[in-house]
Amino acid sequence: MSAPSITSIPKPRSPYKARKTGNFELNSWLFMRGSGLLLVVLVFGHLFVNLMVGKGVHAIDFAFVAGKWANPFWQVWDLAMLWLAELHGMNGLRTIINDYATKDTTRFVLKTLLYFSALIVLVLGTLVIFTFDPCLDPASTLEVCTNR
């Protein structure tokens, strides 16, 4: 047991210095609510179009994705869903790590893994949406390829 230190107690009447922490936690709290409401629309729309309409999950294959991403509407939809969901989930896990990981090193390792995985998902997902070309194979018989 070490003796309690008294050096950190400020002298009486020393001016109060507010810690400069900014509004990050307030902003992320607001972001969770805003992105959450947008994601309700984006994710329910995604689930309805991909699983409930027509043959449901059995309709999904390469041609299905090619047809969907030939339309900028679904490119923007999926891009917004990707970024909002990943940042919403990343911030949620950041909060959970802060709540349950009490050791500094554990928190550091878990958060490094978290941010690294989020970076992979965001970069990979964005690249896939924007560099996807369903007609790379010149012999492709897909409708989006034969029509142009």
Token couple for 146: 């034969």
Output phi, psi for 138, to 5 deg. Answer: -65, -20
CA distance 108 to 121: 20
128 forms part of the interface with another protein (CB under 8 A): yes
CA distances from 142 to 14, 67, 87, 146 (A): 75, 9, 34, 6
148 forms part of the interface with another protein (CB under 8 A): no
109 forms part of the interface with another protein (CB under 8 A): no
Among positions 30-69, residues that touch another protein (CB under 8 A) are 33, 36-37, 39-40, 43-44, 47, 51-52, 55-58, 60-62, 65-66
Alpha helices in 48-103 (DSSP H): 62-69, 72-100
76 forms part of the interface with another protein (CB under 8 A): no
Nearer to another protein, 108 or 130 (CB): 130
Nearer to another protein, 109 or 127 (CB): 127
**What is residue 2's three-state secondary structure?**
coil
Nearer to another protein, 109 or 128 (CB): 128
CB 135 within 8 A of CB 144: yes
Which residues, other chains included, contact 104 with Cβ-Cβ below 8 Å and sequence gap of 6+?
Answer: none
The minimum distance between CB 64 and another protein, in angstroms, equals 9
Binding site for another protein (CB under 8 A): 33, 36-37, 39-40, 43-44, 47, 51-52, 55-58, 60-62, 65-66, 82, 85-86, 89-90, 92-93, 96, 117, 121, 124-125, 127-128, 131-132, 134, 137
